[in-house]
Chains A and B, each alone.
Chain A
């Protein structure tokens, strides 16, 4: 094994361990830990090289593991940030407030999945999906399924939808989730070749889950600010502004439009108005 010059991290199953940056000597010490983790989480004893081959352990000074299948997100900046696109057949966590553009971030991907002819399931959406919007975005309504369920039933539904093999992607709005449940969802996603977008409210106290990719979204005047919280096969912490001004000219602050995309159908004299609440 030629791992002297590399730093190793085991993800995602040991995500509760804070990111560790091993020096060479420290890593030698932690080799035993890795095997313990290995035994505990995989139930079988594998050599480090095997773990590395399967993408559970990786070298951070190398490029991301090529085994991971990626599909483009539709935003060049995001593709660049994620090294090619959304990881497929995985659970992808989005930590976001409701309404800052998180659905528009997923929309190109959902549009792309339409051609697979499979269902797209929305479980416990915070408000009712507006059908004219979906059809105007080229999402056929017969492929959309809107499910409202209680907490544990929502997880049950998500698992079965993922497992069914007839869903391309599942969007689950769920705040509380434990690791065992997540593991089930992950296996189901792999079995049914579907992606689960787990949309959770942003908050510092939330339990960090062993997901394949975790992103935090923040509102920005010209789009959405995306920060990688956790990523299999790559460094966390990268941050990137996803610019919506060309795709969604009416949903960005106007000054950005003037600077960014010239010739849009925006009134250049238009000014934003600040409105303070009125007692009703």
Chain B
């Protein structure tokens, strides 16, 4: 079966994209630059107007130069002194291979929307296998239109070549950018004019070929295979076989990351939490993009703030309501960051997400006329972010004998929240509205229920029983609660209802030592 490959090369990957990705760090709150919704179009990037180069940090030579710099005669490979001599106002940035790799992964993720089989070709190119996808798009031109549209969303220079094998696509992209071939004969024709120096083989082999006087690929391919194998190493053999499609290419296909993680190096050191909002929003937008592509939501985010001369600060934010929208997450983060005291300036932010779930649409009551802003879970998330998770509690009833153990107030836990989620979706048990009953029937019903089923308990329980230090009037009715007799710490409490002089209804008890305590308030 015939394969079809596209080789996509980004000659100035870091130079094109680094600024648009790392831009949004505001130096201060006074400058109110609005971060653009869309990255600027190609040609409008700031680097397109002023000459800029990337400097290889070890060799101290120009690694990449943008178009204005090249127009001034600055070429990759020149020393810094040469480049500076050609342009005094040259902007020099260090070449960061790690950043470039991140950018390449980002582009691979972009292209993954269009093509399933992608292989990375570090440092700055991608292979796309097209033949399984063409049926979807209805031909190569339609696919290329889609790809161009996708790539033009970023201020990016790119070139490509399409051929029947991966290696041939690379050679075509490098020698004749934009060339597409669709048959073996056509490919052979175009490859013949390729210079040998572009071949991806060991430098020694290249030198050997040049000494033989083989300048173009056509000449190399014309040589008999037996002769070649006698004079050259096996690597060239297998390379040529890959080039001609008789041997499959050794490529590792790209798989999109299971977990979202994005890092943003700031251009300025930030010292106040309010300044973090803009860069954070940038990361959250990436997250939103990531989640929306997968039709997913996420519950938990982790933010690592890299600090100057201090250990990194790690923050975790849990939202009971799974969210994808950057704006929703930003509100929670703002509340969380308000409570934060930065001990040192922030150099970089890293956002990672955990706990994903598929997005399921809420089933709201269409006729209830929803007017509020939040769902119950969003409200809980908001309160937890502002007040701290320990302060947002729910009363819980436990199967315990002692009153202080039977009813506790516990912070909302994720498992408890899932219960809230379930109960929220299940329609509430139909309770006859009070309006339709006369007060008498309602009272009779509740009265019977309460007196028969539930023990006499107060609405509020004091955290610690308080000694009774005021005259009270005891009411008839006594309940003995024998505590922990099965553990050997037996003590009996006689509970009674009492009313204090100022009319408060108290739940008091008497210990065996005739000491009196207030344990609850009926309110």
Instruction: Give chain A's interface residues, CB within 8 Å of chain B.
Output: 71-72, 74-76, 79, 97-104, 108, 111-112, 114-119, 125-138, 140-142, 144-149, 153, 156-157, 160-161, 163-167, 191-193, 218-220, 246-247, 249-251, 253-254, 265-267, 270-278, 280
Query: In the complex, which residue of chain A has the Cβ closest to the Cβ of B397?
Result: A131
User: Among the listed stretches B61-69, B196-204, B502-510, which one makes contact with chain A, having 4 or more residues with CB under 8 Å of it?
Assistant: B502-510
Contact status of A192 and B467, CB under 8 A, knowing A132-B457, A137-B450, A275-B516 = no
Cβ of A191 and Cβ of B473 under 8 Å apart?
A: no
Contact status of A134 and B476, CB under 8 A, knowing A99-B505, A247-B447, A251-B505 = no
Cβ of A144 and Cβ of B450 under 8 Å apart?
A: no
Chain B 429-445 against A: per-residue CB contact (8 Å), 1 yes, 0 no? 01101110001001100
Cβ of A117 and Cβ of B427 under 8 Å apart?
A: yes
Query: In the complex, which residue of chain B has the Cβ closest to the Cβ of A133?
Result: B457
Cβ of B522 and Cβ of A142 under 8 Å apart?
A: no
Cβ of A250 and Cβ of B523 under 8 Å apart?
A: no
User: Among the listed stretches B47-55, B106-114, B170-178, B379-387, which one makes contact with chain A, having 4 or more residues with CB under 8 Å of it?
Assistant: B379-387
Cβ of A131 and Cβ of B396 under 8 Å apart?
A: yes
CA distance A116 to B365 in the complex (A): 11
Chain B contact residues, majority secondary structure: mixed
Enumerate 26 A-B pairs (CB-CB under 8 Å) in ascending A order. A74-B442, A75-B439, A98-B523, A99-B460, A100-B502, A104-B459, A112-B431, A112-B434, A114-B428, A116-B428, A128-B409, A128-B462, A142-B394, A145-B393, A147-B383, A147-B387, A147-B393, A160-B379, A163-B372, A165-B374, A192-B373, A250-B477, A251-B505, A275-B471, A275-B474, A277-B471
Q: Which of these, A167, A277, A278, contacts B379 with CB under 8 Å?
A: A167
CA distance A140 to B375 in the complex (A): 18
Cβ of A98 and Cβ of B375 under 8 Å apart?
A: no
Contact status of A157 and B386, CB under 8 A, knowing A119-B379, A129-B409, A132-B406 = yes
**A119-B376, A278-B516 known; 15 other A-B pairs, CB under 8 Å?**
A99-B500, A104-B522, A116-B428, A133-B459, A134-B459, A136-B457, A138-B449, A146-B409, A149-B387, A157-B386, A247-B446, A272-B473, A274-B472, A277-B469, A280-B515
CA distance A102 to B504 in the complex (A): 10
Q: Least Cβ distance of B498 to chain A in Å? A: 7
- B59 adjacent to chain A (CB < 8 Å): no
Q: Least Cβ distance of A216 to chain B in Å? A: 13
A contact residues around B379 at 8 Å (CB): 119, 160-161, 164, 166-167
Cβ of B457 and Cβ of A273 under 8 Å apart?
A: no
With most chain B CB atoms within 10 A of its CB, the pick from A136, A271, A275 is A275
Cβ of B515 and Cβ of A278 under 8 Å apart?
A: yes
Q: Least Cβ distance of B372 to chain A in Å? A: 1
A contact residues around B386 at 8 Å (CB): 153, 156-157
Q: Which of these, A71, A100, A249, contacts B505 with CB under 8 Å?
A: A100
Q: Least Cβ distance of B381 to chain A in Å? A: 11
CA distance A117 to B396 in the complex (A): 18
Cβ of B371 and Cβ of A253 under 8 Å apart?
A: no
Instruction: Give chain B's interface residues, CB within 8 Å of chain A.
Output: 370-376, 378-380, 382-383, 386-387, 391-397, 403, 406-409, 419-420, 423-424, 427-428, 430-431, 433-435, 439, 442-443, 446-447, 449-451, 453-463, 467-477, 497-500, 502-506, 514-516, 520-523
CA distance A267 to B498 in the complex (A): 16
With most chain B CB atoms within 10 A of its CB, the pick from A114, A131, A191 is A131
CA distance A133 to B396 in the complex (A): 11
Cβ of A130 and Cβ of B395 under 8 Å apart?
A: yes
CA distance A254 to B497 in the complex (A): 12
Q: Least Cβ distance of A119 to chain B in Å? A: 6
B contact residues around A266 at 8 Å (CB): 476
A contact residues around B523 at 8 Å (CB): 98-104
CA distance A74 to B438 in the complex (A): 9
Contact status of A144 and B374, CB under 8 A, knowing A126-B460, A220-B503 = no
A contact residues around B453 at 8 Å (CB): 136
Query: In the complex, which residue of chain B has the Cβ closest to the Cβ of A150?
Result: B387
Query: In the complex, which residue of chain A has the Cβ closest to the Cβ of B476?
Result: A270
Q: Which of these, A74, A115, A219, contacts B503 with CB under 8 Å?
A: A219
Contact status of A166 and B395, CB under 8 A, knowing A250-B475, A277-B469 = no
Cβ of B374 and Cβ of A132 under 8 Å apart?
A: no
CA distance A193 to B370 in the complex (A): 10
Cβ of A72 and Cβ of B435 under 8 Å apart?
A: yes
CA distance A157 to B238 in the complex (A): 70
Contact status of A145 and B463, CB under 8 A, knowing A97-B504, A132-B454 = no
Contact status of A100 and B374, CB under 8 A, knowing A74-B442, A108-B442, A145-B380 = no
B contact residues around A108 at 8 Å (CB): 434, 442
With most chain B CB atoms within 10 A of its CB, the pick from A76, A97, A146 is A146
CA distance A228 to B256 in the complex (A): 66
CA distance A147 to B476 in the complex (A): 35
